[in-house]
């Protein structure tokens, strides 16, 4: 069954949620903070490949008439390695007569929030095979995008690492043939093994420091939202992150709108499904505007995160009652935008590596001139 969020339907849904909706959202928000912390510190999240295999097995076996207990017991014994312990625990809950919703409640750190929420909706509406089929396509697309990103970024990363080791080798060789008075120190860190080690520690330590700074800034939801907002404003990388978030948002919102899920909850889950904390942080404001009677387009526009072109297309879709169909097209559009952005990012990263190498060469030349050539001409 497909639910299209027309104006009248959106109003009825918002009205039916009532005052208690805000309280439920606050409870859910507190739970999500604990879930995010658990995922950060214990890394229990099932990888994309495992999620795809699990969704495929659930879609196929449930569609063939097998029970949930049977399917999860099969996955506990023959599923992907990361899925087996989780499937075993869920199967045990189901054997005790609990619902899938209750069984998934204790596995929040293992599954993305979109998986848990749509599984709950699918169980209530009797459409689990269809829901898991859509989730399978969704996660397969995320896997393709991730692999494309790795393939695009692999060569610049190789260039960067190779440049570091080439400079280390140069420092080592200069130290082996050094004349203490005449051999210049091109980097200023010393020559020989000691200088090479200092250079490697400086280069890789700087990369580790940047990564650690991002991890520290992302440790809480508020700090991660500020970091992601800053990244969205950067050239090149910001457009890639924006396209990725919009692609995920369109896919998730289409999936949730095609169920009986209330519009405010559908938007909340879709914003969380972007994986971008800046979009997730905008969720309360968007939900408040929806409950206040605003249309979906106006509610999203208030966040300041959606491009005007997207909002214009969504407004036309709302007027014509074609939101899910348009979201499917927009997801394809942003997937293409992401591919182009990743290609450009790889080129810019490669150029940045060569600029860093060129800067080191220029610095080495200046040091040779200042420490060897100019002193030789002094009277």
Model confidence over 264-289: pLDDT tens digits? 888 988 888 888 888 988 999 999 99
Both tokens of 240, joined, read 């890639």
Both tokens of 103, joined, read 């069984």
In this predicted model, which residue has the larger pLDDT, 325 or 174? 325
* pLDDT one-digit tens code per residue, 58-106: 999 999 999 999 999 999 999 899 999 999 999 999 999 999 989 988 8
Mean pLDDT of 238-254: 88
188 lies in the same domain as 231: yes
Spatial distance between the Cα atoms of 58 and 72, rounded to a whole number of angstroms: 8
80 lies in the same domain as 65: yes
Asked if residue 277 lies in contact with residue 224, where contact means CB atoms within 8 angstroms, the answer is yes
Mean pLDDT of 135-157: 83
Spatial distance between the Cα atoms of 100 and 54, rounded to a whole number of angstroms: 14
pLDDT of residue 375: 64
109 lies in the same domain as 212: no
Q: Which of 92, 111, 140 delimits the end of a domain?
A: 140
Lowest mean pLDDT: which of 31-45, 232-246, 270-284? 31-45
Q: Which of 140, 173, 199 delimits the end of a domain?
A: 140
Asked if residue 76 lies in contact with residue 61, where contact means CB atoms within 8 angstroms, the answer is no
Residue 66 is part of which domain span? 30-140
Q: Which of 140, 162, 180 delimits the end of a domain?
A: 140
Contacts for 331 with CB less than 8 Å, ≥ 6 apart: 247, 250, 251, 254
Kindly indicate the confidence band of residue 156, based on its pLDDT and cuts at 50, 70 and 90: confident
pLDDT of residue 236: 85
Extract long-range pairs of 65-69: CB within 8 Å, 24+ residues apart.
68/94, 68/100, 68/128, 69/94, 69/95
110 lies in the same domain as 163: no
Spatial distance between the Cα atoms of 327 and 5, rounded to a whole number of angstroms: 12
pLDDT of residue 309: 94
41 lies in the same domain as 184: no
Smallest CA-to-CA distance from 307 within 231, 230, 246 is with: 246
CA distances from 100 to 34, 106, 122, 129 (A): 21, 11, 10, 13
Kindly indicate the confidence band of residue 374, based on its pLDDT and cuts at 50, 70 and 90: low
Spatial distance between the Cα atoms of 65 and 46, rounded to a whole number of angstroms: 26
113 lies in the same domain as 152: no
Spatial distance between the Cα atoms of 334 and 349, rounded to a whole number of angstroms: 22
How many residues are present in the chain? 379
* pLDDT one-digit tens code per residue, 326-367: 998 998 899 889 888 888 887 887 788 778 778 877 877 777
Spatial distance between the Cα atoms of 41 and 248, rounded to a whole number of angstroms: 25
209 lies in the same domain as 338: yes
Both tokens of 203, joined, read 């280069």
72 lies in the same domain as 193: no
Extract long-range pairs of 195-198: CB within 8 Å, 24+ residues apart.
195/171, 196/168, 196/169, 196/171, 196/172
pLDDT of residue 90: 93
Mean pLDDT of 206-233: 78
Both tokens of 42, joined, read 């214990």
Element at 218 (helix H, strand E) = none
150 lies in the same domain as 117: no
267 lies in the same domain as 293: yes
Smallest CA-to-CA distance from 256 within 232, 239, 272 is with: 272
Spatial distance between the Cα atoms of 240 and 344, rounded to a whole number of angstroms: 9
pLDDT of residue 43: 47
The Cβ of residue 91 has, within 10 Å, a number of other Cβ atoms equal to: 21
Spatial distance between the Cα atoms of 109 and 36, rounded to a whole number of angstroms: 7
Smallest CA-to-CA distance from 122 within 210, 51, 63 is with: 63
Q: State yes or no: pLDDT of 132 exceeds 70.
A: yes
Share of the chain above pLDDT 90, in %: 23
Asked if residue 257 lies in contact with residue 266, where contact means CB atoms within 8 angstroms, the answer is yes
Asked if residue 240 lies in contact with residue 265, where contact means CB atoms within 8 angstroms, the answer is no
Report angle CA 345, 347, 352 to the nearest 5 degrees: 90
Q: Is 0.85 surpassed by the pTM of this model?
A: no
Q: How many domains does the chain have?
A: 2
* pLDDT one-digit tens code per residue, 313-330: 999 999 988 998 999 899
Lowest mean pLDDT: which of 38-52, 194-208, 272-286? 38-52
Mean pLDDT across the chain: 79
Mean pLDDT of 217-240: 79
In this predicted model, which residue has the larger pLDDT, 247 or 177? 247
130 lies in the same domain as 154: no
Both tokens of 204, joined, read 């890789």
Q: What is the CATH number of the domain that holds 67?
A: 1.20.81.30
267 lies in the same domain as 289: yes
User: Tokens 């927009």, residue?
Assistant: 330
Helix (H, G, I), strand (E, B) or coil at 219: coil
């Amino acid at each position: 069954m497909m639910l299209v969020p027309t104006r009248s339907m959106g109003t009825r849904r918002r009205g039916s949620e009532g005052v208690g909706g805000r309280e439920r959202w606050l409870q859910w928000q507190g739970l999500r903070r604990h879930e995010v912390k658990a995922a950060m510190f214990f890394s229990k999240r099932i990888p994309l490949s495992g999620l795809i295999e699990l969704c495929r097995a659930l879609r196929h076996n449930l569609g063939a008439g097998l029970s949930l207990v049977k399917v999860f017991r099969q996955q506990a014994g023959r599923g992907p390695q990361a899925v087996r312990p989780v499937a075993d625990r869920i199967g045990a809950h189901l054997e005790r007569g609990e619902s899938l919703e209750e069984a998934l409640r204790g596995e929040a750190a293992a599954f993305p929030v979109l998986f848990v929420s749509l599984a709950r909706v699918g169980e209530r509406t009797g459409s689990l095979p269809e829901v898991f089929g859509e989730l399978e396509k969704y996660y397969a697309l995320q896997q393709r995008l991730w692999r494309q990103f790795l393939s695009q970024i692999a060569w610049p990363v190789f260039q960067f690492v190779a440049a570091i080791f080439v400079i280390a080798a140069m420092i080592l060789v200069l130290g082996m043939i050094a004349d203490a008075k005449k051999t210049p120190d091109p980097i200023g860190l010393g020559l020989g093994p000691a200088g090479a080690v200092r250079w490697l520690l400086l280069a890789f330590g700087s990369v580790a420091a940047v990564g650690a700074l991002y991890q520290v800034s992302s440790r809480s939801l508020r700090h991660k939202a500020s970091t992601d907002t800053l990244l969205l404003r950067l050239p090149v990388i910001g457009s890639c992150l924006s396209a990725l978030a919009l692609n995920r948002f369109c896919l998730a919102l289409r999936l949730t709108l095609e169920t009986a899920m209330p519009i405010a909850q559908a938007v909340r889950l879709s914003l969380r499904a972007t994986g971008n904390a800046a979009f997730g942080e905008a969720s309360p404001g968007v939900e408040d505007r929806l409950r206040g009677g605003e249309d979906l387009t106006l509610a999203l526009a208030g966040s300041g995160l959606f491009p005007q072109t997207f909002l214009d297309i969504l407004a036309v879709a709302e007027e014509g009652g074609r939101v899910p169909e348009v979201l499917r097209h927009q997801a394809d559009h942003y997937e293409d935008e992401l591919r182009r952005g990743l290609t450009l990012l790889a080129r810019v990263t490669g150029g940045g590596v060569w600029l860093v190498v060129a800067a080191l060469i220029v610095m080495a030349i200046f040091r040779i001139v200042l420490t060897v050539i100019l002193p030789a001409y002094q009277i």
